[in-house]
Structure 1
């Protein structure tokens, strides 16, 4: 069978010719962007016989590989029968800093298009031209070369010779991978109740290129039930890639463990985990330039060898593995993981690499997306995460500081920072009697200032004189994000300013992220949103961009009602009654542990409430050990907290934690490690300005705004916390819901079936 490798022109050119160092968090081509608007402006100047955005392709045999190369040529220019390939690049750099050799990958792209055109039209020679456009001034600089057929053929053969080792490695791996998948068995002796139904639903969703919302109870084994059918779809060539998206480290580890079990069963796959930059940075500073970091120096000169090395030798490209190879090749581990994501069969990462416009993996081409499934774990978290991703804030303080820092140093940065600071002052003067101001429409003047700041900051950051000051870089990225979000701004957003003493912040707040979540995911072959608490399903389908014909599946719990004793303690935990609730909460906790000693978790809606009850608990001196979730706990502290829940302890233990926090979901305390869960309140988010904006928005669209803003997000936290208790068919325990609202029909309706036979305590 013919070995076929499809490759876009830009990918081939950059693989061979990309070079240099990581610069200040920019990628190596940051100074040269696609610049669609600028492309169109240049193309408008073409003569009538010239063509723009011309699709070209070529098929080339090289070392028993059939390469299919394709792309869109920016310009195909004709002058008296003589043809010129035009490659357009926009840049923030001064054109004085650009010469013919500034970026060899640009020439290589033009040479690829020249090869394709010459093959189709049997030409002896052709011109290739690079057109550089300075973004702020619109100034143009061009370089032109004439190339013969032999020269272009030689250029193509050289590029293929450099790319061939990687192509061969991928082809060999794909054959081994698919063979291993055909022989791969489910990694457990039998399916748990509901697992086969979930796995079958996921497989059908992939085959039919659909979206599914799957609510499957905690403990069923959702991770393996979604990964396994997706892997089988790859083996049958229905799928090319899997993205397993998570919100938290704990669920990422669960996915890694599932793949580890499959590796033990013979699976051959490349599985990369992307870990946050601040956690993996070797220097701990996160400053990405060759002056500060040897792992940024010459990164793009070393990345191809490092990639071949790790792919030849490893399957599980987790944090530890990537660190080892990054140290060996002296490259940045974070950027290495991002580059590996394009080669891997599965990528385990945070939601933001797909849904967040700031950090999404933009080199994924549409054709790759069409062969990729998104497995979105704990999908309930994506609603609020989506709001954060599609919101943007700018504050006054950084611009005031930049104005001072660059005075006499860079007059352009000083001046634009002063104008930004002045605008914030003008907004502050409008807020005579209020701490917030709502704007009815986008701020045109402000947006223009932000755009000017971005251009000037970019010039400074890319100039040779720049020391890449951290504040300027951070503010530049914040301004860039503002500009991105301003392009998405519509009726699903609100624009407001908040004033606190001398500080002013202006925010584009996303009220309803559903449309943007849908847009970010729509290019992919299939989308699987799953969670133990994707209920009510109508709310989550609405908020995650679902449509009427999407699949919805609700897997019944495999556990029996006898495993859980659920009780309601009808006290008021409303804000006005919290002081009076403290003693009854402590009394209930003590009585529960004394009646049935063991390990317990008690969850609170806030740290303030938790600490108030903890103070009363400590005063009682009950002789029961306790541990407390603290703000900003690191991985070591989290692990120590969970390790305290040991089976068969001689004494009892109570862990104080917050609803919606790190211990309320993705935590697996099986058997006697956990004997009971107490939940204080109904989990409602704190009443506040933004929550009320959400409430108002959905009420104005004919929905129950209070439920959308408060009740549904709150009860989801409750269900997640309660789900820590029963993790297997052998687990038993007690859940105590401490709030009189649990007796109301609305809240009873939102409880899982197994919790509905509750009684008063």
Structure 2
């Protein structure tokens, strides 16, 4: 007998859903998780109520055993047993009395069936409890069912899922059989690749976390993906996520997976495409009025899922768009549904870590065993802080007040109150570890009270602008749920901002759900700094893999004299240019990395005045994807291009210019983030918490950018290249200790010494 595992929620959503997509406003009962609403209702339960009751049952239908589980919000065990399902809403409760939500009843009836079966009950009550978020009123709707009525309903629901279940079971056998035969897709492992693969496999096997620093060019994508798939074939996990910060990382993972598919691997793969890119319309308008794919989407999407599942293994963007057009469904929502039936998923960090868009379905279903592979994970620290920060602009509240019709009295009142509370705060810019409670209360009430406008006034002037503002302030209220002593509230002239300082406790909680997590990058130094701030625990393993490349293929020059601190930069430009000219005298392509656009542009302007017949290009502040490709096209195997770029930008990591496409890289300054009010708050916080304020806020983030930029030079075993470090701080601790240990560094004071050092290397 084969087993299919599914949660009550996923079962009901797959079988019972219907209707349109309407993202002009999706009701708060979906947008707000309702955690506080659940807690409020549960606090008012009598002593006879059990809360958050875990339920599981197995049912055999034909040749399949279904394991179905879920968690009931509340079960009253008294003279009569009542299963309660709590739903939060902003709708008028009188309206809910007159209509029946089939999805809500279906979910509650499944819980009631499992409990009645386990406890030999002939009859059981099922209750829906609606909590009105704005008024805090509660509506209870109760029905009584016999055990046989519930059993018939439950079995009929499973029968509707049976056909697709067989596909899942058959596919798993095909997949695992192909994985057993799968061999590493290259003749031999590169140095370090086997080490990394073994470390990843052991981490999955032991259900642990791993932070690993693996050098650039080792082939991290295939070295993490291959052992993960092998573990999947041995039934250690059901699914894997490969998380990336940039499109370049996504492409590397896609290439590695397709290489394995070409070796007869059978694997359902989805590389997630952003909504604005995969949308089939000229403008993203997710509502049945403006989009034919949104109208009736849920009536047709299951057929679309079955069709693509039977037709192909690689759910590429092209395939998703093809079947979306065929079945007239929204390609983005269709893509998200396909993740339930994908074995390997490549997507951005935010689909796991961002509180407003994360894939909740995988965190609510305890039966899914999945692992996370987190690429270039040094990027996750700043990204994570951004995910858990939010800002309300006073101009947005004023604009929203203008847009709302006068009949929307409650929403207008709360906006006016929020503006008044803002005025009561000091005129100066300041921050506080305590949230601005009175302002926040009015912002939250604004969100809840906008339901009527958003659902009934969709034709109002500037509705789309109001919706954008709504989602902005909704995120603010969402982040408030996480507020603790690792957050501050910043009051400026025109906004209130919640800023996350230390995301470690939040991430530690998120990482409890995956069976294993692997954080990897070429630059995780100090490695335990990243572990500490990204949610590692005492069992987490740390590993550093030595560079497999011949150290004689890279020469690193370090100027011990030049100062590029902010106050000295203007006076250093002439000397910087002399260093750059001597460093790049021989033919080839070079990139000069600077700490900021403004400093880069000043040096660039001076450099081109003395340049002789050189092909010089410069990174612009705003560049389209096409412009970025054109920039990189200047680096050919036979060209001599000088490029000016910014550390931490799109050209300082994630690009591969192998062989003669890149001869050398110059790095000007130690890359410290610019001094700012918010960065200094971060420094102060980490000084109090870890006694390492300046290191955590400035030095470590800066030196990561330096090493990432330097990593563009050596990408393969055959590459040869050179690096120029320009800032005397590179020679002193702690900066010198953060440079890669395998570098052979040649110190000098005078630019004329560069030629002598390079004489033997060139």
Same fold, TM-score > 0.5, yes or no: yes
Q: Secondary structure in 1 aligned to 2:680?
A: helix
Residue 14 (structure 1) aligned with residue 13 (structure 2)? yes
Give the Å deviation of 1:264.
Answer: 0.9
More off after superposition, 135-144 vs 71-80 = 71-80
The residue number in structure 2 matching 1:534 is 524
Mapped to 2, the partners of 1:239 and 1:386 lie a distance apart of 26
The residue number in structure 1 matching 2:165 is 167
Over 3 Å counting, the alpha-carbon distance change for 1:664 and 1:101 in structure 2 is same
Give the Å deviation of 1:737.
Answer: 1.1
Over 3 Å counting, the alpha-carbon distance change for 1:44 and 1:707 in structure 2 is closer
Over 3 Å counting, the alpha-carbon distance change for 1:286 and 1:416 in structure 2 is farther
| Contact 2:362 2:368 survives alignment (8 Å) | no
Root-mean-square deviation (CA, aligned residues, Å) is 2.4
Give the Å deviation of 1:407.
Answer: 4.5
- Counterparts of 1:35-114 in structure 2, within 5 Å, are 35-43=34-42, 51-76=50-75, 83-98=81-96, 101-114=99-112
Q: Deviations over 1:640-696 (max 9, x none)?
A: 2222211123xx112221100111111111111111111111111101111111111
- Counterparts of 1:308-319 in structure 2, within 5 Å, are 308-319=306-317
- Counterparts of 1:220-231 in structure 2, within 5 Å, are 220-231=218-229
The residue number in structure 2 matching 1:613 is 603
* Structure 1: gaps of 5 or more residues: none
Mapped to 2, the partners of 1:746 and 1:29 lie a distance apart of 50
Mapped to 2, the partners of 1:674 and 1:68 lie a distance apart of 56
Over 3 Å counting, the alpha-carbon distance change for 1:117 and 1:747 in structure 2 is closer
| Contact 1:391 1:507 survives alignment (8 Å) | yes
| Contact 1:217 1:555 survives alignment (8 Å) | yes
Indicate which of 537, 544, 547 corresponds to 1:557. Answer: 547
Q: Secondary structure in 1 aligned to 2:105?
A: helix
More off after superposition, 151-160 vs 504-513 = 151-160
Mapped to 1, the partners of 2:498 and 2:744 lie a distance apart of 41
Residue 299 (structure 1) aligned with residue 297 (structure 2)? yes
Q: Deviations over 1:3-38 (max 9, x none)?
A: 111222222112111222222266688459663443
The residue number in structure 2 matching 1:387 is 385
Mapped to 1, the partners of 2:637 and 2:512 lie a distance apart of 46
Q: Deviations over 1:409-440 (max 9, x none)?
A: 5222222222222222333xx22xx4x11225
The residue number in structure 2 matching 1:397 is 395
Q: Secondary structure in 2 aligned to 1:98?
A: helix
The residue number in structure 2 matching 1:629 is 619
Give the Å deviation of 1:307.
Answer: 1.6
- Counterparts of 1:671-750 in structure 2, within 5 Å, are 671-750=659-738
Mapped to 2, the partners of 1:422 and 1:224 lie a distance apart of 56
Mapped to 2, the partners of 1:357 and 1:113 lie a distance apart of 27
Over 3 Å counting, the alpha-carbon distance change for 1:93 and 1:463 in structure 2 is farther
Give the Å deviation of 1:165.
Answer: 2.4
Over 3 Å counting, the alpha-carbon distance change for 1:426 and 1:292 in structure 2 is farther
| Contact 2:583 2:724 survives alignment (8 Å) | no
Give the Å deviation of 1:362.
Answer: 0.9
Residue 754 (structure 1) aligned with residue 742 (structure 2)? yes
Over 3 Å counting, the alpha-carbon distance change for 1:708 and 1:76 in structure 2 is closer
Over 3 Å counting, the alpha-carbon distance change for 1:539 and 1:117 in structure 2 is closer
- Counterparts of 1:362-511 in structure 2, within 5 Å, are 362-365=360-363, 368=366, 371-427=369-425, 430-431=426-427, 434=428, 436-463=429-456, 469-499=463-493, 504-511=494-501
Over 3 Å counting, the alpha-carbon distance change for 1:636 and 1:375 in structure 2 is same
Mapped to 1, the partners of 2:367 and 2:503 lie a distance apart of 21
Over 3 Å counting, the alpha-carbon distance change for 1:172 and 1:724 in structure 2 is same
| Contact 2:28 2:89 survives alignment (8 Å) | no
| Contact 2:207 2:516 survives alignment (8 Å) | yes
Mapped to 2, the partners of 1:401 and 1:27 lie a distance apart of 21
More off after superposition, 26-35 vs 526-535 = 26-35
Mapped to 2, the partners of 1:638 and 1:180 lie a distance apart of 39
- Counterparts of 1:270-349 in structure 2, within 5 Å, are 270-349=268-347
Over 3 Å counting, the alpha-carbon distance change for 1:207 and 1:25 in structure 2 is farther
| Contact 1:517 1:544 survives alignment (8 Å) | yes
| Contact 1:568 1:758 survives alignment (8 Å) | yes
The residue number in structure 2 matching 1:4 is 3
Residue 514 (structure 1) aligned with residue 504 (structure 2)? yes
Mapped to 2, the partners of 1:93 and 1:170 lie a distance apart of 38
| Contact 2:25 2:454 survives alignment (8 Å) | no
More off after superposition, 294-303 vs 727-736 = 294-303
Q: Secondary structure in 2 aligned to 1:719?
A: helix
Give the Å deviation of 1:369.
Answer: 7.3
Over 3 Å counting, the alpha-carbon distance change for 1:320 and 1:642 in structure 2 is farther
| Contact 2:25 2:455 survives alignment (8 Å) | no
Mapped to 1, the partners of 2:605 and 2:537 lie a distance apart of 49
Q: Deviations over 1:373-419 (max 9, x none)?
A: 11111111111111111212111011001111225252222222222
Moved >6 Å (runs of 4+): none
Give the Å deviation of 1:280.
Answer: 2.6
Mapped to 2, the partners of 1:29 and 1:507 lie a distance apart of 23
More off after superposition, 534-543 vs 406-415 = 406-415
Indicate which of 534, 541, 547 corresponds to 2:537. Answer: 547
Mapped to 2, the partners of 1:75 and 1:698 lie a distance apart of 42
Give the Å deviation of 1:361.
Answer: 0.9
Over 3 Å counting, the alpha-carbon distance change for 1:344 and 1:644 in structure 2 is same
Indicate which of 583, 591, 613 corresponds to 2:574. Answer: 583
Mapped to 1, the partners of 2:572 and 2:431 lie a distance apart of 37
Over 3 Å counting, the alpha-carbon distance change for 1:74 and 1:367 in structure 2 is closer
Indicate which of 545, 566, 589 corresponds to 2:556. Answer: 566
The residue number in structure 2 matching 1:158 is 156
Q: Deviations over 1:109-147 (max 9, x none)?
A: 233234334434555555444333322223344444454
Q: Secondary structure in 2 aligned to 1:130?
A: strand
* Structure 2: gaps of 5 or more residues: 749-753, 755-762
Give the Å deviation of 1:701.
Answer: 3.0
Indicate which of 136, 139, 145 corresponds to 2:137. Answer: 139
Residue 639 (structure 1) aligned with residue 591 (structure 2)? no
User: With structure 1 as the length reference, what TM-score do the two structures score?
Assistant: 0.93
Over 3 Å counting, the alpha-carbon distance change for 1:637 and 1:149 in structure 2 is same
Over 3 Å counting, the alpha-carbon distance change for 1:45 and 1:698 in structure 2 is closer
Over 3 Å counting, the alpha-carbon distance change for 1:534 and 1:47 in structure 2 is closer
Mapped to 2, the partners of 1:445 and 1:29 lie a distance apart of 22
| Contact 1:497 1:507 survives alignment (8 Å) | yes
Over 3 Å counting, the alpha-carbon distance change for 1:719 and 1:369 in structure 2 is farther
Give the Å deviation of 1:216.
Answer: 0.7
| Contact 2:363 2:513 survives alignment (8 Å) | no
Q: Secondary structure in 1 aligned to 2:164?
A: helix
**Matched residue count:** 747
Q: Secondary structure in 2 aligned to 1:602?
A: strand
The residue number in structure 1 matching 2:216 is 218
Mapped to 2, the partners of 1:197 and 1:75 lie a distance apart of 49
Over 3 Å counting, the alpha-carbon distance change for 1:369 and 1:354 in structure 2 is farther
More off after superposition, 250-259 vs 477-486 = 477-486
User: With structure 2 as the length reference, what TM-score do the two structures score?
Assistant: 0.93
Over 3 Å counting, the alpha-carbon distance change for 1:281 and 1:581 in structure 2 is farther
Give the Å deviation of 1:41.
Answer: 4.5
Q: Secondary structure in 2 aligned to 1:746?
A: coil
Q: Secondary structure in 2 aligned to 1:633?
A: coil
Give the Å deviation of 1:91.
Answer: 1.3
